[in-house]
Amino acid sequence: MILNKNTVAVLSTILLLTYTAVAQMDKMVDAYALSIQHEAKKDYFGAIRSILTLKDSTAYENNLRLGWLYYKAGLEKKSLHYYQRAVDMMPGAIEPRIGYGYPAYLLEDFNDLIAQDRKILEIDPNNKITNSNLAQIYYYDKQFDKALKHFQKVVQQYPFDYDNNLLLAWTYLKLGNNAEAETCFNTALLYSPGDPSAKEGMEIMGKSGAGTWPIIPAFATSYEFASNSDNKNAAAELQKIYDRKSYFINLRLGWLMYLAGMHNESFNYYKIATEIMPASVEAKLGTLLPLEAMGNTTEQKTICESILSIDPQNTSALYKLGFIYYQKKEFDKAMPYFEKLVKLYPFSYDGLFMYAWTHYQLGKLTESREIFYKVLCLSPGNQSVMQALRLKQAGEAEKPGDREIIKPR
């Protein structure tokens, strides 16, 4: 076939643009690799200079990176400037708003911090970190009613979370609700026997500083065994006091049995915990551990869907569901889960890595290349990514279904 001059000109232009784009991406990867090296040495200004050499203020990734590096360098106002630019570029993303909170907190700009946290909760109402952070701001500002709502939201889904139970206990105490305060202080002591803050709170109410739950001493002994990696004896201590109605005993036994390699037993304990507290995300996430060890993807899928019915933006469940479909070579079903992750966290390794590979497996090679380069910025020299880029160069006509499944690290 003979190509006319116009066709040749068009093809030449396309090749030139492709070459230019690849050269720009290579330059970006090199700059990020050097920046990461400087950061590892705590040379934050060197890390900043590496990114500034790119001279691209329109790239979301660059602004996000500069926001972080200026924060690490102690220049909070500069950090806010770049984080705000990243927020403006990706207003539906959580990632830059969380970053924004670091310098805003150090500047004690709590009104600004509250505004960002509220925006995050508009996107992800169940976000654990943000609900906890917002609750703490309200608590230390003595707005206990407002703090209560956010602490309760976290503890409802993570009933054995130490920090939020402890602060929820103090919030109840400030509000005069001693009965609920006692429950939360006991939970904190169950997690951390002898905890001085929980002990103080209990004693203010005229209760034993060691806690009033009889299961606390057994947990303390169990922790001693676990600290020496003796998980079977750690579990045995809790089995001596086993109560099928106790969420905390079943949750802890689920974890210890998993560590001991007793996956069926682990699953059974975790399952009981989820039955006791159906709204507990922490118990459902725990259940995934023995199921994964046993290779039971069907049940994992059911659990993840259950988590997402409670917490639709839960990143662990989104990633796990996407990866299950990816392993099954159902790439079209995997894509929406990774896509959602990347919309929330556009420059975070795990979601971006699998998002790139899913594009690749679906034959979307041009799109996958761009995403792979972003992954390389986060993980310079990543062998899986380098393999993908070599495969792409070797033959773009290869069918996605014929490609070997590449697993994440």
- pLDDT per position as a tens digit, 273-323: 999 999 999 999 999 999 999 999 999 999 999 999 999 999 999 999 999
The answer to whether 159 and 247 are in contact (CB under 8 A) is yes
Q: State the DSSP H helix or E strand holding residue 263, giving kind and residue range, or none if neither.
A: helix 263-276
For 36-77, the pLDDT digits (tens) are 999 999 999 999 999 999 988 889 999 999 999 999 999 999
pLDDT number for residue 392: 56
Which tokens in the block code for residue 217?
């001493």
The angle formed by the CA atoms of residues 17, 18 and 22, to the nearest 5 degrees, is: 115
Residue 202 lies in a domain: yes
CA distance linking residue 116 with residue 134, whole number of Å:
10
The total number of structural domains in the chain stands at 4
The residue from 308, 334, 351 where one domain ends is 308
Query: 78 and 156 share a domain?
Result: no
Residue 206 lies in a domain: yes
pLDDT, average across residues 235-261? 98
3-state secondary structure of 163: helix
CA distance linking residue 72 with residue 85, whole number of Å:
18
Query: 318 and 346 share a domain?
Result: yes
In 197-251, DSSP assigns E strands to none
Which tokens in the block code for residue 46?
């060197």
- Return all residues near 107 (Cβ < 8 A) that are at least 6 apart: 76, 77, 80
CA distance linking residue 4 with residue 48, whole number of Å:
49
CB neighbours of residue 103 within 10 Å: 25
Residue 285 lies in a domain: yes
Residue 12 lies in a domain: no
Q: Looking only at Cα atoms, what is the longest distance across the chain?
A: 94
The residue from 158, 183, 211 where one domain ends is 211
CA dihedral of 184, 161, 94, 32, whole degrees rounded to 10:
140
The residue from 188, 211, 234 where one domain ends is 211
Which tokens in the block code for residue 340?
């959602």
In 120-271, DSSP assigns E strands to none
CB neighbours of residue 89 within 10 Å: 16
CATH code (residue 174): 1.25.40.10
Query: 240 and 202 share a domain?
Result: no
Instruction: Note if the pTM is more than 0.75.
Output: yes
Residue 2 lies in a domain: no
Query: 373 and 327 share a domain?
Result: yes
Query: 193 and 241 share a domain?
Result: no
330 pLDDT band (50/70/90 cuts)?
A: very high
Residue 80 lies in a domain: yes
For 88-121, the pLDDT digits (tens) are 999 999 999 999 999 999 999 999 999 999 999 9
3-state secondary structure of 39: helix
CA distance linking residue 263 with residue 270, whole number of Å:
10
Percent of the chain exceeding pLDDT 90 equals 85
Query: 118 and 73 share a domain?
Result: yes
Tell the residue number behind the tokens 């990243």, with chain if given: 86
SS (H, E, C) 289-345: HHHHHHCCHHHHHHHHHHHHHHCCCCHHHHHHHHHHHHHCCCHHHHHHHHHHHHHHC
Query: 207 and 219 share a domain?
Result: no
For 138-168, the pLDDT digits (tens) are 999 999 999 999 999 999 999 999 999 999 9
Residue 145 lies in a domain: yes
Is the pLDDT reported for residue 8 higher than 80?
A: no
Query: 103 and 83 share a domain?
Result: yes
pLDDT number for residue 404: 38
CA distance linking residue 392 with residue 287, whole number of Å:
38
H helices, E strands: number in the chain? 22, 0
For 176-231, the pLDDT digits (tens) are 999 999 999 999 999 999 999 999 999 999 999 999 999 999 999 999 999 999 99
Residue 134 lies in a domain: no
Q: Specify the DSSP class assigned to residue 404.
A: P
For 335-374, the pLDDT digits (tens) are 999 999 999 999 999 999 999 999 999 999 999 999 999 9
Query: 221 and 188 share a domain?
Result: no
Q: Which domain holds residue 170?
A: 140-211
Query: 47 and 67 share a domain?
Result: yes
